[in-house]
Amino acid sequence: MSLIQVRELSKHFKVPARKTGRFAALRNLFSFERTSKVAVDGVTFAIERGEMVGYVGPNGAGKSTTVKMLTGILVPTSGEVEVDGMVPHRDRKRLAHRIGVVFGQKTQLWWDVPVIESLRLLKEIYRIPTSTYQANLELFNDLLDLHEFQDTPVRQLSLGQRMRSDLVAALLHSPDILFLDEPTIGVDVVAKDRFRSFLQQLNEERQVTVLLTTHDMSDIEKVCERMMIIDQGRIIYDGAIAGMKKRFTPYRVLVVDFADGVSDVEIDRAELMERNGRQARFRFNRWQVSASELITELAQKYPVRDISVEEPEIEAIVREIYERSAIGERLEGQ
């Protein structure tokens, strides 16, 4: 059985029906009319132990709502959800010891006290054995340099330092599952790289299962092998990132630096996109010709100094999937 199992999961919210026109503010004040807003609409998926899965979609697509149902914060309107054999909203206390959660725009640390004091308090809340607490703290110090700011009040931390602290707080009790909702929002490049490396090492050493929601596609590409895309409350793609690239973008780009004196360049089964001095960029269809074939042809015909192959950007792929979904195209093989 999968570690996380979701079947036809839905969440509807009742929102006030806003009136317009003359005296609208007064009429809204005394109106009790409500309309139903669908945040998640029949979502089904399974996540196996040790998987690292990206969960992406535009604002309002239903990402955070899904995570809140998986963690027991929200009760589903319909459908079934099990996390490590437990129904989250029924077994919140028991589940809390098996999961860690980071919400990028909210902190679980105490604002006016040093980071280390928050961690000590969490040790008591989760009843973490002293040996486990010390071992985890030592590991996180090595990987995240927590000792640099652990005696600083949370309100004085930079955003990157706070996110590293929140990550430690979520993992202090050695959970098997980690839910990350926009954990790198506003974080600088250096902090992001450290964050990604930490997740990869944690997964390799402890087999921690990770569900990561983010708008930063580079986070997904560097950390996860599988991606689920949600739009308007429904999952429109679920599969391997490598497979998604091959399926939705057959074209790759060959970047060639020629030696001096090379003027006109032409190769079969590839289109010259641009030429800038010694450098040329060729577009080719991966299903019609391989990069190695083109490289061999170029090396035989022209003096070449350097060659590289560029894969399509993952943002462009996700954008194409959104566009196909918007016109109602069915995405097979999910």
Structure confidence by residue, pLDDT tens digits, 103-113: 887 888 999 99
Residue 272 and residue 195 share a domain: no
Domain that holds residue 192: 48-245
Distance CA 326, CA 319 (A): 11
Highest mean pLDDT, choosing among 139-143, 264-268, 290-294: 290-294
* Residue 20 domain-assigned (yes or no): no
* Residue 27 domain-assigned (yes or no): no
Say what the pLDDT of residue 130 is: 95
Residue 276 and residue 224 share a domain: no
Number of domains in the chain: 2
* Residue 330 domain-assigned (yes or no): no
Contacts 24+ apart (CB under 8 A), 326-329: 326/231
* Residue 32 domain-assigned (yes or no): no
Say what the pLDDT of residue 21 is: 66
59 confidence band (pLDDT: 50, 70, 90): confident
Residue 255 and residue 228 share a domain: no
| CA distances (Å), origin 282, targets 255, 257, 316 | 7, 11, 18
Q: Which of 71-85, 102-116, 164-178, 259-273 is predicted least confidently?
A: 259-273
Distance CA 299, CA 267 (A): 11
Structure confidence by residue, pLDDT tens digits, 176-232: 999 999 888 777 788 888 888 889 999 999 999 999 998 888 888 889 999 999 988
* Residue 125 domain-assigned (yes or no): yes
Structure confidence by residue, pLDDT tens digits, 23-43: 666 666 666 677 888 999 999
Strand order from edge to edge, sheet including 209-213: 99-103, 177-181, 209-213, 52-56, 226-231, 234-240
> For 285-308, what is the mean pLDDT?
89
Which domain CATH number covers 81?
A: 3.40.50.300
Among 27, 194, 9, smallest CA distance to 83 is for 9
Residue 169 and residue 303 share a domain: no
Say what the pLDDT of residue 129 is: 95
Residue 216 and residue 81 share a domain: yes
| pLDDT beyond 90 at 15 | no
| pLDDT beyond 60 at 328 | no
* Residue 317 domain-assigned (yes or no): no
* Residue 334 domain-assigned (yes or no): no
Say what the pLDDT of residue 330 is: 47
Q: Give the end of a domain, one of 245, 266, 285.
A: 245
* Residue 325 domain-assigned (yes or no): no
Q: Give the end of a domain, one of 187, 216, 245.
A: 245
Which domain CATH number covers 296?
A: 3.30.70
Say what the pLDDT of residue 332 is: 47
Residue 255 and residue 233 share a domain: no
Whole-number average pLDDT of the chain: 87
Q: Would you give the DSSP letter of residue 184?
A: T
Say what the pLDDT of residue 333 is: 45
